[in-house]
Structure 1
Amino acid sequence: MPKRLLLEGSDIEELLSQVRDEHGPGVSIVSADRVRTGGFAGFFARQRYELTVEVPDPAERPAAPAPAPPAAPTGPAAAADPMTALLAQAEEQERRLSLTGSRTGSPASASAPAPQRPAAAAPSVSLNLAQAVPAQAHVPTHAAAPAAPAAPAAPAAPAVPLVPEDFVVETGTENRAFADMLASLQRDGDTGGTGALLARAYQPPAVAPAAGPERSGAVVPRAFQPPVVEQERPFEQALTELGLPARMARQAVGSDMYTAVKRALAGLAEAPAPPRGAGDVLVIVGEAHAALHVAEKAARLLNVGPAQVLLAARSTAGTGIHNTRLLNGPRSAQQRARKIHRDNVPYVVVVDSTPEQGNGEWSRAVADALGATAVWAVVDATRKTADTARHLRTLGKVDAIAVNAVAATGDPASVLDLDIPVSYLADRPGTAPAWAALLCERLEEKQS
């Protein structure tokens, strides 16, 4: 009973020699395949060959038939395409074996009409697999290729065999699918009729254009942005401790103390000048003695005498003001206003009012009765800014403030949080240079 063997190796010629040496010339080759193993994504793979042979039983092994010249197609087509010659010889072998009742004949070959010949006279078709099959293809045993024309009965000269005559390729149903695939590759117009696959240039996939650089992921160049260099502010913390608002202390840039303080005070609002028109009234609200001190400076600035300085309070005791210049309330202030507005010089009126007295509404009524042209308030720098702001709100509209007791506090600049122009800073006008001199003096004291 015949048996089938599977042989593997890296060289087809060595496998054929091994079959000839071990099993003799009667062995039948069922299939021959080239297999690629290993590698990654088709690269670096190793190739080997698998050869399936059928070895007949020694008792049933027939005697080797007499060699006969193989029928090979003539003409330029056969010389140019060895694969076509291989397929034609396989078809001829299949046809002959089907007529002699071979055990491996296919139905397709049995249906082909051919003149019957004795089984003993059937010649064997020798095929050289290593030369006739391209390196890129497997060896087919059955293909749907057009059959070559039959060789003449008595050729003039024997053709040179393609392979040794010791091997017989039998056709079967195992490799029909592969043979059909190979035949379709041969019919493909891109192969150029040689059976070899042509390499094609790589075509990258088309990418639809995006709507903008943000979608496509492209890097959009941006304008150069210079690095932000933090400016030196060595006096910011110290000025904040002196009561200067943080928004102003932030502007004290630079290593020079006076320059940095001037920059911090650059946005300081200037106090309006005291009214000096005929019949104008400047009302100064505050503690009586401190307000009278500011009133004397304003009177000298307006070039008016003591007769034009009035006091609105409960009493003139300890003030040095004559009773004829006393206004004891809104009614008295309204009566005196008729004369003031007819006069040709301005007047300065001091209104005694402090947060402790809680008479802010009374002071406001006196200023309204006098028809005040401007209202100044004298504030104590030692008092909390929040308490001072609450008292000033009861006075109505305040045009400027005069800061008193500056030397007695550690944060004299806290009154700048009131957002009211400073008319007097202690004994001098509350200008930006006056504030800069005061703050620089305090900074030097901190550093010493």
Structure 2
Amino acid sequence: MPKRLLLEGSDIEELLSQVRDEHGPGVSIVSADRVRTGGFAGFFARQRYELTVEVPDPAERPAAPASAPQAAPAAPAAPAGPAAAADPMTVLLARAEEQERRLSLTGSRAASPAAAAAPQRPAAAAPQRPAAAAPSVSLNLAQAVPAQAHVPTHAAPAAPTVQTLPAAPAVPLVPEDFVVETGTENRAFADMLASLQRDGGTGAAGALPARAYQAPAAGPERSGAVVPRAFQPPVVEQERPFERALTELGLPARMARQAVGPDMYTAVKRALADLPEAPPAPRGPGDVLVIVGETHAALHVAEKAARLLNVGPAQVLLAARSTAGTGIHNTRLLNGPRSAQQRARKIHRDDVPYVVVVDSTPEQGNGEWARAIADGLGATAVWAVVDATRKTADTARHLRTLGKVDAIAVNAVAATGDPASVLDLDIPVSHLADRPGTAQAWAALLCERLEEKQS
């Protein structure tokens, strides 16, 4: 049973020579294709040739006739001249090139002289092989040489004689179980070459049949495709010329990073944009505002709060060991939590608010006592007076013993180099020295310190 082989190469003449050398004159050339692969927009493409041949079994090859047949139909005389002695393979190559030139030009052109000189014989219709790609040119060689013609390997001195065998039944160009893929990864072609090498290039039985090539699943990494990614705009680092100086003034790092811009006041205002606002002093009838701190510093804040609430000295009380040096009458003294509970009955029935000062400092360690007095009075709000010169950790530890603190009043601001460190307590500031603890007051203080550093 004859078998078909597919040969590939970059030179058609080398393929034809390989066919003659390896398979002898009994081989039949079924089709020859020229294929272009790769490239971009038709440029830089690689060109190769695919040659399909049919090799009959040694038992089926007919023996050469001893003598010419006695009666034969008249055949057209072979033309004399150079074309008569031309090799049929050369004629075949010339016709393939002529067909390519015809496809590249608009209109029709006359046949080449070499094609006109070749003997014309009717040929059985053979199925055309589909083109592998748009740039490739496919030429069915059965139009030039019959499918069952034996091509001699050497030209005779006289006119070449081509023996014609009976026409074989038409078979498909490519069997259903034979898949040929263009490109460099063609395992069927590699298997065929390995079989020919094992058999000594004779194409004998036992050669490995070509099989369908299963391409591996190609992902973005294997195929080399570029995976699109979302556009990430470049991050532009903003100018922060005052960040380090503000950190040295005690401003928390999370707030100092917000000081963006070359203008000092604008940068400081941006840093203080998230500063919490202190709640106002309670002013309802019977409300109690408790101010905890060192006695004289707390009384100073209480006087400001009394003026703000429009209450007199009778509504300002003191919880301490004594009233010596304070100007507070003994009738307004609360000496403990029990006394605070007794006074609370009268305070809650009054129609004005009260301000109560509680003497408590970290050195005294009486935070629990101060908290008990505030609970006995039923305090509406609790303010704490803190010393800006004290370590923030020590101040925070003392404030935790007082329970819930609604606001702080910062004292001794001018005596410290980092007055903004109290902002790390995360408690609203009601008073900043003698001024209300607003964002504008903090901005003015920090800008003054920055100017002093720059001068």
Aligned residues with identical type, % of pairs: 93
User: In 2 relative to 1, CA 148–212 (structure 1 residues): closer, same or farther, beyond 3 Å?
Assistant: closer
Measured after TM superposition, the shift of residue 39 of structure 1 is 25
Task: Indicate the residue corresponding to 2:114 in structure 1.
Answer: 108
Change (3 A) 1:284 1:131: closer
CA distance in 2, matches of 1:97, 1:300: 106
1:215 aligns with 2:222: yes
Tell me if the contact between 1:401 and 1:424 (Cα under 8 Å) persists in the aligned partners: yes
Q: Give the 3 Å change call, closer, same or farther, for CA 383–98 of structure 1 in structure 2.
A: closer
Q: Secondary structure at the residue paired with 2:347? A: helix
Using the TM superposition, give the Cα deviation of residue 184 of structure 1 relative to its aligned residue in structure 2, in angstroms: 14
Q: Give the Cα separation in 2 of the matches to 1:396 and 1:100.
A: 99
Could you report, residue by residue, the CA deviation over 1:158-197 in whole angstroms, capped at 9, with x for unpaired residues?
9999999999999999999999999999999999999999
Relative to structure 1, the CA distance from residue 275 to residue 211 in structure 2 (aligned partners, 3 Å threshold; closer, same or farther) is: farther
Query: What is the distance in 2 between the residues matched to 1:422 and 1:168?
Result: 84
Contact in 2 for aligned 1:12/1:130 (Cα 8 Å): no
Q: How far apart in 1 are the matches of 2:400 and 2:134?
A: 132
Q: What is the aligned length?
A: 442
Q: Compute the displacement of 1:130 (Å).
A: 27
Normalising by structure 1, what TM-score? 0.57
| Contact 1:99/1:110 (8 A) holds in 2 | no
Shift of the alpha carbon at 1:301? 0.2
Bigger mean CA offset, 152-161 vs 119-128: 119-128
Name the stretch that deviates more: 388-397 or 103-112. Answer: 103-112
For 1:26 and 1:101, the matched residues in 2 are separated by: 38
Residues 107-161 of structure 1: CA distance to partner in whole angstroms, max 9, x if unpaired? 999999x99999999999999999999999999999x999999999999999999
How far did 1:251 drift? 0.2
- Mean CA deviation greater in 62-71 or 278-287: 62-71
- Correspondence for 2:177 among 166, 179, 191: 166
Deviation string 1:241-264 (CA, Å, 9 cap, x unpaired) is: 000000000000000000000000
Partner of 1:354: 361
Displacement of 1:218 after TM fit?
Answer: 1.4
Please list the CA deviations of residues 394-440 of structure 1 after superposition, one character each: whole Å capped at 9, or x if unmatched. Answer: 00000000000000000000000000000000000000000000000
| C-alpha contact 2:178 2:211 (8 A) present in aligned 1 | no
CA contact (8 A) 1:88 1:146 kept: no
Residue 386 of structure 2 aligns to a residue whose secondary structure is strand
CA contact (8 A) 1:100 1:118 kept: no
SS of equivalent to 1:6: strand
Change (3 A) 1:134 1:33: farther
Deviation at 1:227, TM superposition (A): 1.7
Task: Classify 1:266/1:314 alpha carbon distance in 2 versus 1 (closer, same or farther; 3 Å).
Answer: same
- Give distance in 2, aligned partners of 1:120 and 1:273: 86
Task: Give the CA deviation at 1:228.
Answer: 1.4
Larger Rg: 1
1:362–1:255 Cα change, 3 Å: same
The answer to whether the 8 A contact 1:402-1:425 is kept is yes
Evaluate the alpha carbon distance shift between residue 388 and residue 138 of structure 1 in structure 2; reply closer, same or farther with a 3 A threshold: farther
TM superposition shift of 1:220: 2.6
In the TM superposition, residue 216 of structure 1 has moved relative to its aligned partner by: 4.0
Residue deviations 1:29-55, cap 9 Å, x none? 999999999999999999999999999
Deviation sequence 1:276-333 (CA, Å, 0-9, x none): 0000000000000000000000000000000000000000000000000000000000
Moved more, 71-80 or 85-94: 85-94
Q: Which residue pairs with 2:167 in the alignment?
A: 156
Q: How does 1:260-299 map to 2 (within 5 A)?
A: 260-299=267-306
Relative distance call for 1:348 and 1:102 in structure 2 (3 A) is: closer
- What's the offset of the Cα at 1:221? 3.1
Specify the SS of the correspondent of 2:138. Answer: coil
Rate the CA distance shift 1:79–1:351 in 2: closer, same or farther, 3 A: same
CA 1:107–1:172: 2 relative to 1, 3 Å? farther
Alpha carbons 1:316, 1:323 under 8 Å: kept: yes
Once residues 100 and 418 of structure 1 are traced to their aligned partners in structure 2, the CA distance between those partners, rounded to angstroms, is 89
- From the superposition, tell whether residues 355 and 123 of structure 1 become closer, same or farther in structure 2 (CA, over 3 Å): closer
**Per the alignment, do residues 139 and 416 of structure 1 end up closer, same or farther by CA in structure 2, a change over 3 Å counting?**
same
**3-state DSSP of counterpart to 1:189:** coil
Distance 1:212 1:431, change over 3 A: farther
Shift of 1:223: 4.0
SS at match of 2:196: helix
CA gap of 1:68–1:116, structure 2 versus 1, over 3 A, is farther
Aligned to 1:292, the other structure's residue is in SS state helix
Equivalent residue for 1:397, pick from 404, 412, 415: 404
Contact 2:25/2:150 (CA < 8 Å) preserved in 1? no
Change (3 A) 1:136 1:425: farther
Q: TM-score normalised to the size of structure 2?
A: 0.56
Partner of 1:57: 57
Residues 1:139 and 1:102: Cα distance change in structure 2 (over 3 Å):
farther
Q: Distance in 1 between matches of 2:277 and 2:247?
A: 21
Separation of aligned partners in 2, 1:72 and 1:364: 129
Equivalence for 1:82: 88
Offset of residue 362 of structure 1: 0.2
SS of the aligned residue for 2:228 comes to coil
Identify if the C-alpha distance between structure 1 residues 136 and 184 changes in structure 2 by more than 3 Å, giving closer, same or farther. farther
Q: Which residue of 2 aligns with 1:22?
A: 22
SS at match of 2:44: coil
Alignment RMSD, CA only? 17.8
Shift in CA distance, 36/133, structure 1 to aligned 2, threshold 3 Å: farther
Instruction: Give the direction of change, closer, same or farther, for the CA distance of 1:257–1:220 in structure 2 (3 Å limit).
Output: same
CA 1:140/1:282 → structure 2, altered by over 3 Å: closer, same or farther? same
Cα 1:219–1:436 shift into 2, 3 Å: same
Q: Which moved more, 1:387-396 or 1:10-19?
A: 10-19
145 and 434 in structure 1: CA distance in 2 versus 1, 3 angstrom threshold: same
1:222 CA displacement: 3.3
Query: Which range moved further: 34-43 or 178-187?
Result: 34-43
> 1:173, 1:234 → 2: CA distance?
62
86-95 or 265-274: bigger deviation: 86-95
